[in-house]
């Protein structure tokens, strides 16, 4: 698909133009939710400052109520906040061009038209629903059969149906055509916003958070950056929109690329944009280059990609210290959610490394640990990638659309210390009020052979959403 597998060049960016942002949800000793959020506050500020254009790309953009057990943490009506901010800004600046790129899951492939999208379109905002059929087949056994038999039937997905909705939100019933399209497991998982900053420069946020009410209490991370480093991502987004039927034109002329600095210091960060398989290439190159005395710290929603797992174990065998904070996919006894794939993957990492890989689970309470961060630290510098890419086959091997940022900074730079402090706070439970962000490996461990082989089958064939 046009616009995919971007590998932007590294730009030397003043450190003050790079901001690490984290949303964290936990619970105190009495089970009361403790929530700290900042990502969408920054997103809304970007919208309200734009004068020329805003381009957004979000996997989920809706306020549909959940049909599953609600999180005890208060949910934020973030989809309405962002929708209203976009409409208000366009009314205030009628010449403002706004494009929203999103995934067809928001309307369940035509089964549930979005009132949010209708309001945005009425305000003159363009919406490009990603043509995910153009993406590679991750679930190739099913998709091959689907394309040969009922793929042509996709246009009949609109309207109410009688087939049970397998999703946690939306209508109770959808059409069979919509349900059959869902099983292809194709998605636009990008979470980005790019706009002018009102002063002839680009500003953007790339992260893991969606404007989605049901997941508004999730723990997420993002990075805010400025300048021409965002131009490859903007071009990518416009190419994806055009490939999905959008016929507009947005954005400034490209700026000349600034020269790289040969030496990092506390005032400079090397920043680049990577998407889809380019994220995998950058990640594996840095893991394979790590040596004894280096550290790899991972805070991740999902890990399942076999190449990544093997590369991580090889680095650990070379003497690289590895620590992982992982979402457990379950909140404890009585929670019926599957531990796949994280449960068996975590057990494999612990067993294969003879306990040398250290792993903790994030303590969730109905919500999810949705962060996607990998940091590789040497004595002099820190390299990190964060954004919307999980460490899964779909995210790293050009099946789903994803967008990440890579950052390289001096080890003692404020940005490096901020990211390290985020990880250390969760790892070591540095908190007041009895908050425990993370738990020991044994709390949510799943070492059953049946789970492991089910995971391996689903990962290799694509018969799963990971």
Domain annotation for the chain: domains and CATH numbers? 16-243 (3.30.870.10), 268-460 (3.30.870.10)
Diameter of the chain measured on Cα atoms? 62
Residue 432 pLDDT: 76
- Higher-scoring residue by pLDDT: 401, 146: 401
Rounded CA-CA distance 274/283 in Å is 10
Query: For a pLDDT cut of 70, what percent of the chain falls above it?
Result: 90
Q: What is the pLDDT of residues 43-57, one digit of tens each?
A: 999 999 999 999 999
Q: How many CA atoms lie within 13 A of 67 on its CB side?
A: 10
In this prediction, residues 264-284 reach a mean pLDDT of: 94
Residue 253: is its pLDDT beyond 60? no
Query: For a pLDDT cut of 90, what percent of the chain falls above it?
Result: 73
CB neighbours (10 Å) of residue 433?
11
Residue 107: is its pLDDT beyond 50? yes
- Higher-scoring residue by pLDDT: 73, 341: 341
Residue with tokens 């050009």: 398
Q: What is the pLDDT of residues 193-252, one digit of tens each?
A: 999 999 989 999 999 999 999 999 999 999 999 999 999 999 999 999 999 999 999 976
Q: Cβ(376)–Cβ(164) under 8 Å?
A: no
Classify residue 148 as exposed, middle or buried by CB count within 10 Å of its CB (0-12, 13-18, 19+).
exposed
In this prediction, residues 395-423 reach a mean pLDDT of: 96
Q: Comparing C-alpha atoms, which of 448, 466, 283 is closest to residue 376?
A: 283
Q: Which two tokens stand for residue 313?
A: 């174990």
Rounded CA-CA distance 227/283 in Å is 24
Confidence band of 342 (pLDDT split at 50, 70, 90): very high
Q: Comparing C-alpha atoms, which of 57, 267, 68, 75 is closest to residue 166?
A: 68
Residue 334 pLDDT: 43
Q: What is the pLDDT of residues 198-215, one digit of tens each?
A: 998 999 999 999 999 999
Confidence band of 335 (pLDDT split at 50, 70, 90): very low
Confidence band of 431 (pLDDT split at 50, 70, 90): confident
Residue 359: is its pLDDT beyond 90? yes
Residue 79 pLDDT: 97
Residue 50 pLDDT: 97
């Amino acid at each position: 698909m046009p616009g995919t597998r971007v590998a932007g060049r590294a730009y030397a960016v003043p450190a003050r133009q790079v901001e690490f942002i984290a949303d964290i949800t936990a619970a105190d000793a009495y089970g009361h939710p403790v929530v700290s959020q900042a990502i969408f506050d920054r997103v809304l500020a970007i919208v309200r400052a734009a004068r020329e254009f805003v381009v957004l790309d979000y996997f989920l953009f809706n306020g549909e109520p959940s049909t599953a057990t609600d999180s005890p943490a208060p949910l934020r009506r973030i989809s309405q906040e962002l929708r209203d901010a976009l409409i208000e800004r366009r009314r205030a600046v009628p010449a403002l061009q706004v494009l929203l790129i999103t995934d067809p899951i928001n309307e369940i492939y035509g089964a549930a038209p979005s009132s949010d999208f209708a309001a945005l379109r009425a305000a003159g905002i363009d919406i490009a629903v990603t043509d995910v059929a153009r993406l590679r087949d991750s679930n190739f056994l099913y998709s091959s059969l689907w394309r040969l038999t009922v793929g042509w039937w996709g246009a009949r997905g609109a309207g109410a149906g009688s087939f049970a909705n397998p999703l946690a939100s939306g209508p109770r019933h959808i059409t069979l055509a919509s349900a059959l399209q869902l099983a292809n497991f194709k998605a636009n998982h990008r979470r980005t916003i790019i706009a002018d900053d009102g002063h002839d420069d680009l500003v953007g946020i790339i992260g893991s958070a969606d404007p989605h009410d049901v997941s508004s209490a999730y723990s997420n991370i993002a990075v805010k950056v400025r300048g021409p480093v965002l131009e490859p991502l903007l071009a990518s987004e416009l190419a994806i929109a055009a490939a999905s039927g959008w016929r507009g034109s947005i954005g400034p002329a490209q700026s000349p690329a600034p020269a790289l600095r040969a030496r990092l210091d506390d005032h400079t960060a090397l920043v680049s944009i990577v998407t889809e398989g380019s994220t995998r290439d950058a990640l594996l190159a840095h893991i394979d280059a790590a040596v004894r005395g280096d550290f790899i710290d991972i805070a991740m929603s999902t890990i399942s990609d076999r190449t990544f797992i093997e590369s991580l174990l090889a680095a650990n065998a070379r003497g690289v210290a590895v620590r992982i904070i992982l979402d457990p996919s379950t909140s404890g006894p009585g929670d019926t959610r599957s531990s796949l794939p994280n449960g068996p993957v975590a057990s494999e990492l612990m067993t294969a490394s003879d306990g040398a890989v250290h792993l903790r689970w994030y303590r969730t309470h109905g919500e999810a640990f949705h962060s996607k961060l990998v940091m590789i630290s040497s004595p002099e510098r820190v390299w990190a990638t964060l954004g919307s890419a999980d460490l899964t086959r779909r995210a790293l091997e050009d099946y789903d659309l994803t967008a990440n940022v890579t950052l390289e900074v001096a080890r003692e730079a404020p940005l490096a210390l901020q990211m390290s402090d985020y990880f250390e706070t969760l790892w070591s439970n540095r908190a007041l009020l009895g908050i425990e962000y993370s738990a020991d490996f044994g709390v949510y461990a799943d070492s059953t052979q049946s789970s492991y082989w089910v995971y391996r089958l689903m990962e290799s064939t694509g018969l799963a959403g990971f």
